[in-house]
Amino acid sequence: MLLLLLLLPLLPLLACLSSGTPGPEDSQPEDGDLVDFDLDLAPRRVPRQVKTILLKETRPHIHELAIQTTIISRYAFTAVYCAMLNRHSAATEGVFQFQIPANAYVSNFTMIIAGRVYQSEVRPKLKKVRQENGNAKNKDAGDASAELEVEVFRMAVNIPGRNRAVFLLTYEELLQRRLGRYEHVTSLRPLQLVSRLSLDVTIVDHSPITDLEVLPLRNGKSNNAANMATGSKVPGKPELPLTTVIKNEKNVCKITFSPNIAQQAKITTSGILGDFVIRYDVQREMGIGDIQVLNGHFVHYFAPKDLPVVPKNVVFVIDTSASMLGTKMRQTKEALFTILRDLRPGDRFNFISFSNKIKVWQPNRLVPVTPLNVRDAKKFIFLLMPTGGTNIDGAIQTGSSLLRDYLTGPEASPNSVSLIIFLTDGRPTVGETQSMAILGNTRSAVREKFCIFTIGIGNDVDYRLLERMALENCGMMRRISEEADASIMLKGFYDEIGTPLLSDIRINYTENSVQYVTQNLFTNYFNGSEIVIAGKLTNQSAESLHVQVTASNNDRSIILETDIPLRHQQIETEKHVKAATAAIVDRAKAPGTGITQALGAALGSVAQDFVGRVWGFLSIREGLRSRLRSQNSKEREGHTHQATNLSMTYHFLTPLTSLVVEKPEILPDSTMAPAPTTTPGASEAGLSANELPDETVDRNPQEYDRKLGSQVSPLSNTVGKVERKPVKKSIVFSRTSADGDPHFVVSFLLVSLLCGFNINGEPGHVLRLVSDHKYSGVTVNGKLIGAAAPPGSHKQQRTYFSTITIVVDHPKRAYIEVTPKKVILDGRDRMVLPCHSTVAVDSGALSVAIVGKSNVTVTVGRNISFVILLHQYKNPAPYQRDHLGFYIGNSKGLSHNCHGLLGQFLYEEVGLAELPVQGDAKPSWALKVKNRSVPVVQKSRRIYSGTQSVDCWFARNNAAKLIDGQYQDYLMSHMFDTGEWPHRTNRV
């Protein structure tokens, strides 16, 4: 969503691209027809085979596909820009399809069809309803979400004849470290030859980048899966994909790949180029790890090295049912033979095979790794014969009993790591077959004494059962596709978990200094992996954060602790964020289209909040895992609401949300239907912009907890009182406001006089509107976004308020953050409320009432209220942006020391004087404010969503002399900055 806001100023250029009309189809010679394709090389240099393919293509042609990724401290932002051309006279379906990594979340999707913008919206996923034909469908049309197993984002839309379409997709992911390397994969499968194809990846890290490697293009499920699992380097120096350029500096690395259409055809004419794979690592020092701090969040990367290996006790439980016959069994045996060679002398092991019957290689014990035992184990594996059904429950019970009995015996090492590696290709068919019963039996058998790692092979596996079994027992699940080489995949998975270095890892931070911390207790740490923890700082002005890591390694305990200087870490993190932004800006200056340059610049802006987004990403992932392993419906519902709320907050497409986008309507003559005309800010029920709900109907708060959800701290499960108010009445609020471009209006009630001024800020600026933190505890900040100026305007750009935050510090800290799409209320608990619904919530110090698609009223105590108008556009013009208008409703509770761009005038006395006229000059006027004379002119201003026009005295030049100090004095460092006005009073 944030990236979309940054891209919207580019819409005039995008609209121009998407509404262009190609030339005649059949009136030119063959080379002339290629002009329509906007190739990046001369038509005479295009091979005849390529010309034939292009001219015979009936689908809309992709004339540009630009993919740009910024990886900053292992967190990757990717933006995909795809422009299609329909050369034909009739409307034709265009399909935008892009594979995204399984662990990534889509954060935005926008279409521009024939110059008209269609913006997606993330909504909570509806409960599925059974249709007459038996298919389960969501009630919302245009749902662009896909099943997680597919990992393909797909959108089909009709493109009018002789027209263009632009698709913008963004997604984010936290790279996982496996076998000592991070791996970033970009799918290049446009399914056709592309006129202009470019991939740009920028890696910026706090630590120097090492072991950078770009692999040959990776295609096919088997090759892809195998390479991802093993993490092994290609023998010798791998050959770079054609046109790849690498620029590697100490902390910044840039990789580009931009084959022209002829070079693409040399790779393949199908448009399926494959995966562009980058692997790298970073330098590490022994100690507490790398902690980065930014905008009130922190992220902690912990990956110790050079530690002695902890011995392990491992039981391999292998499916030998009839479905394993053939290739699966052969490849499984090959992997087990290799794994046997890698077992260490201090390890203990055993094998179990299961089908209808369960066979244990060495009953009632785990054996040490000796040449004789390894030889006998190979015989047992060699003689495995697939037959019969699948007794999953019996196999797990047998393996658990075997390992549990060993751990209670005299031979067990107290600091060893114990685990079961379980492999199957099917569903339970023998013994207990109910998933919930199997999971319950497994928990009872494991008793939190060891971990279970599960592996599924093929398409007939209950992956939900395997994933939950692993998650509930401190393990993880790996999927092996039917076409993959199971031998390489199984060996690769074992390599990841085969070298434990630490067990029972606990990472603690200064008590009461952090909140909403992600998982900080880990059963094991394996060599080549990484532990990542994120959280929020409760006091951003604190000098330091104490960090303590405790763990066990073999026969000793390890304690690492240090004090992290927060201010220093914030400065260091800001430095490498600036380095990332600078690298992207440099990339944008390189030759290329204006779109790809602007796309890179927008990605750089998004990266500036990467630590907070890492926290959101991890919190959502953990919420989904907790939801999967929850033991009852109430617990599951709580995790569902928490993960849904965070998904909405960060605009992520997750298993709990849907990405909904309207599709254009194409008329029979192949043109687009006219855009519906709607008044921005008006609700579906036709409410005026200053109507709010009245009558209160009490509902069960728990019922609305289920419907609205809340992100709660571990210590609290209470939810604020939620009310529906169906009856409306008009409310009255003052004209003191900041609305539109933004236009500020101040009402001086004592003299019945209105004054106006403009603030010409820059996109991204945070303005202090009301500052009374020291007295009433209230602070209001507003963030600006930019938009293109309308045609003929004297301005280069417009600015609007995209976000308003109201922070309250009395009696306890709470805040409300309002955007045109949602309201985030963090009081007793954290809630995310959509702006398209009508609802009221009372959360202690703060209460909020939303009239769907119209306005939001925030009340603080009894005598302070603010009204925020929602300005929304269904199909915005390039110079229109969804934005907010801020109005002061009730200011009685604000002190006489209140300040800010609006707050400083609440109790101010002013006078109006006519200045002496010389000669035939027109009369001029000045406001007398705080012993200052401010030249003013009369102007008309529209307020209340344009429903009322008022005359006011207008002060020019960014309100020079009217406001205390300069405009720059009102710029805040972030949206939750509550710092006091330097003068501490509105008197000068």
pLDDT, tens only, 372-398? 999 999 999 999 999 999 999 999 999
Which residues in 25-44 are b (16+ Cβ under 10 Å) and which e? eeeeeeeebbebbbbbeeee
If you ran DSSP here, which 8-state letter would residue 44 be given? G
What is the structure's pLDDT at 711?
29
DSSP string over 828-886? SSEEEEETTS-EEEEETTEEEEEETTTEEEEEETTTEEEEEEEE--SS--TT---EEEE
If you ran DSSP here, which 8-state letter would residue 65 be given? E
CA distance 118 to 661: 7
H or E stretch at 615: helix 610-628
H or E stretch at 171: strand 163-174
CA distance 187 to 565: 41
What is the structure's pLDDT at 694?
32
- Sheet strand arrangement including 197-204: 116-119, 105-113, 163-174, 75-86, 61-72, 197-204, 252-257, 245-248
CA distance 114 to 82: 14
Closest CA to 619 of 708, 709, 517: 517
What is the structure's pLDDT at 596?
54
Positions in the chain short of pLDDT 50: 1-6, 8-9, 12, 17, 21, 23-32, 129-150, 221-235, 677-731, 984-988
- Say if residues 38 and 181 touch (Cβ distance below 8 Å): no
- Say if residues 854 and 870 touch (Cβ distance below 8 Å): yes
Q: How crowded is residue 102: how many other Cβ atoms within 10 Å of its Cβ? A: 12
Sign of CA dihedral 601, 605, 611, 616: negative
Q: How crowded is residue 881: how many other Cβ atoms within 10 Å of its Cβ? A: 24
Which residues in 905-936 are b (16+ Cβ under 10 Å) and which e? bbbeebeeeeeeeeeeeeeeebbebbeeebbb
For 391-426, write each residue's pLDDT tens digit: 999 999 999 999 999 999 888 887 889 999 999 998
Whether a cis peptide bond, with omega within 30° of 0, leads into 982 is: no
CA distance 337 to 359: 18
CA distance 238 to 243: 14
Structure tokens at 151: 């990992």
